[in-house]
């Protein structure tokens, strides 16, 4: 039987976890680019999200910027905001972080590392980075690895 996660490890890499690490004071951060897929009745959305956690993995702050739909988005403005959010953190080290699952509501959507409950006895817990579900974590929670 799968166990509900208390902490999720995310190892720094050159892909979706390129901008994870620590600030000099021990706080942890995750800078990422969530998205809401477009559908027949929704335009979708592109975002920049900066999550800051304390040393124990508790979410302290979520700064989420909305850039509209992928079709209408100003890619340069989004890239600049991403760079600005990273710069505002100051002197960081890119490294493994360990954070607690969390959820914040913005723009009518849930953002965060959100626990997906097992649907039946053969299913397992998962933690999905939403919106977009572009990173999914499974046991062991301390592996630092994710599926895309």
For the chain, percent of residues with pLDDT exceeding 90? 84
- Distance set, CA 15 to CA 12, 32, 127, 134 (Å): 9, 10, 18, 11
pLDDT digits (tens, 9 = 90+) for 23-67: 999 999 999 999 998 888 888 899 999 999 999 999 999 999 999
**pLDDT of res. 61:** 98
State how far the Cα of 7 lies from the Cα of 3, in Å rounded to an integer: 11
pTM of the model: 0.94
For 13, residues 6+ apart whose C-beta sits below 8 A from its C-beta are none
**pLDDT of res. 72:** 87
**pLDDT of res. 1:** 56
Domain boundaries, the chain: 8-137
- Distance set, CA 63 to CA 3, 20, 123 (Å): 30, 15, 33
DSSP state string for 99-112: E----EEETTEEEE
CB 130 within 8 A of CB 63: no
DSSP 8-state secondary structure symbol assigned to residue 92? -
**pLDDT of res. 123:** 85
**pLDDT of res. 28:** 98
């Amino acid at each position: 039987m799968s166990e509900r996660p208390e902490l999720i490890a995310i190892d720094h890499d050159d892909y979706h976890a390129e901008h994870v690490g620590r600030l000099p004071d021990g706080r942890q951060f995750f800078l990422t680019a969530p998205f809401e897929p477009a559908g027949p009745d929704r335009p979708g959305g592109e975002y920049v999200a900066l999550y800051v956690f304390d040393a124990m993995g508790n979410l302290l702050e979520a700064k989420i910027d909305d850039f509209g739909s992928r079709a209408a988005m100003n890619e340069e403005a989004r890239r600049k905001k991403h760079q600005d959010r990273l710069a505002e953190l100051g002197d960081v080290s890119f490294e493994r972080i360990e954070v607690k699952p969390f959820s914040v509501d913005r723009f009518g959507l849930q953002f965060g590392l959100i626990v997906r409950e097992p649907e039946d006895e053969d299913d397992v817990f998962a933690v999905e980075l939403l919106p977009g579900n572009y990173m999914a974590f499974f046991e062991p929670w301390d592996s630092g690895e994710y599926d895309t």
